A and B are shown apart, each in its own frame.
Chain A
Amino acid sequence: IQSLSSPLCLCQGILRGIRAIKGPEYKHSLAYNYVLDQFCKKQITGERYCLAQEEALYASHSYLCLLISTRQHMALYDIYHGKGQHDTEEMAGIVGLRLPAQPGGRAGRSEGREKTLIPHQRVVKSSRWT
């Protein structure tokens, strides 16, 4: 087994990861109590080499990696991921156009009809030179 961080560092890292996700109430979460319980259980042994302790350390390292990687992936995903397809009204608004009002309905609400786009009406302020 590759050399891993110390049990204390791993435990602190996992609890920090849980707090980053859950917020101030992280101490009431299932994972918090279970992680603390497992670290306490596995620390006391009369044996010189405890396989269970090594496996628990490895599982802790993997879980810490899972927590950190998922959080970082989601942070990048929220920044860079496309927001999906816009509807026609939103697309028109992006380029400075709006949908005309359809007969008997509001703009953009009738389906199956060909929509035409008209520019926004501009308000021209009178200047002192006219």
Chain B
Amino acid sequence: MLRNLVRFHNCLGHAFSPPTVCPRGQMFKLLSVKSYSIITERKKFYEDVSISHGEGGMFEINLDRRKLKTPGGKLFTAPNEALAIAVANEWDTQKDILKFYSMHMTTLCNTALDNPTFRSKDQMITAIIHVYNCTEIETEPPSLVELQNNEWDPVLNWIEDRYNVVIGSSTSILGPEIPQATMDTFRQHLGSYNFWSLTGLEYVITQLKSVVLAFALIDKHITVEQAVLLSRLEEEFQIGHWGNVEWAHDVDLYELRSRTAAGALFVHFSSESSTVKRKLMQD
């Protein structure tokens, strides 16, 4: 329940109104929450999607002859071709109705471009450190405790070796004592990411509810499926005991996988840079 509430809140936070490229007379489906109006669906108003080079080496998305814009009114630009094509593919694969809640890469780019909460990089790092997961181990039933130890211990050992930190686990609701040195190490590591990558990383942490899992995923130690499994370990345990409900468990699972995969890809594309250097031919 709480996970769904948090995801719903995240959905509202990230799913902004659609781009300002909008012909007249289009049908909207409005979801009004408090004083906000969030458009979740719209009739498709374009045929072709393409990408083009913009200023400063950025890539732009074109819907027919019009350029895509962010909800904040800025011109939509992606820093590299891979990200631009991923976003263009999301728009290209829409059918008669545009479903903005399925376009996670576009949403992440809009968030990075508009920065609607007006936060700096340091503020984002501080927020991530505050969200730092207190790895809590259940005390009963014993089979769940054993499952958690078997599945989580390798990841915890890996992150302790990788970053030379101490991370504990706790059976208390207050969580373990986290050394300041560990916090400083993570803060320094987060400082090496650029703003776009931090946006994606924060998104992944919010979805997985775990900084440890997010780091393991971004460092390519585990796959998206493994990260989601570990995040939902207790839920999977209960499903194994009581049975699976497709309209709740499977919907939750696939939505979490798609969001986490989008976040991981976004971080990967935002932090990579590639150059081509040809070798000299040797006779």
Contact = CB atoms under 8 A, between A and B. Distances in A.
Given A52-B274, A62-B261, A63-B86, A30 B50 contact: yes
If over half of B's interface residues share one DSSP class (helix, strand or loop), that class is named, otherwise mixed; here it is helix
A80 interface: yes
B279 interface: yes
Nearest first, the 6 closest Cβ-Cβ pairs linking A and B are A69-B257, A66-B261, A69-B258, A73-B254, A31-B89, A80-B247
A24 interface: no
B96 interface: no
Interface string B74-101: 0000000110011011001100000100
Interface of B: 29, 49-51, 81-82, 85-86, 88-89, 92-93, 99, 102, 104, 220-226, 246-247, 250-251, 254-255, 257-258, 261-262, 264-265, 268-269, 272, 274, 279
A52 B66 CA distance: 35
B224 A65 contact: yes
A29 interface: yes
A90 to B, nearest CB: 16
Contact of B251 (A31, A46, A61, A77): A77
A62 B50 CA distance: 23
Nearest to B258: A69
Interface residues of A, number: 32
A65 B258 CA distance: 7
Contact of B85 (A34, A66, A77): A34
A69 B274 contact: no
Contacts of B50: 30
Contacts of B247: 76, 79-80
Contact of B265 (A30, A59, A80): A59
B92 A2 contact: no
Contact of B258 (A29, A31, A38, A73): A73
B53 to A, nearest CB: 14
Given A29-B89, A54-B220, 11 more contacts: A22-B92, A30-B50, A59-B82, A65-B225, A66-B104, A69-B258, A73-B254, A76-B246, A76-B247, A77-B251, A80-B246
A94 interface: no
A22 B222 CA distance: 30
Nearest to A63: B265
Contact of A55 (B51, B88, B104, B268): B268
B120 to A, nearest CB: 28
B251 A34 contact: no
B224 A2 contact: no
9 contacts: A30-B88, A31-B92, A34-B82, A34-B85, A52-B274, A62-B264, A65-B225, A69-B255, A74-B102
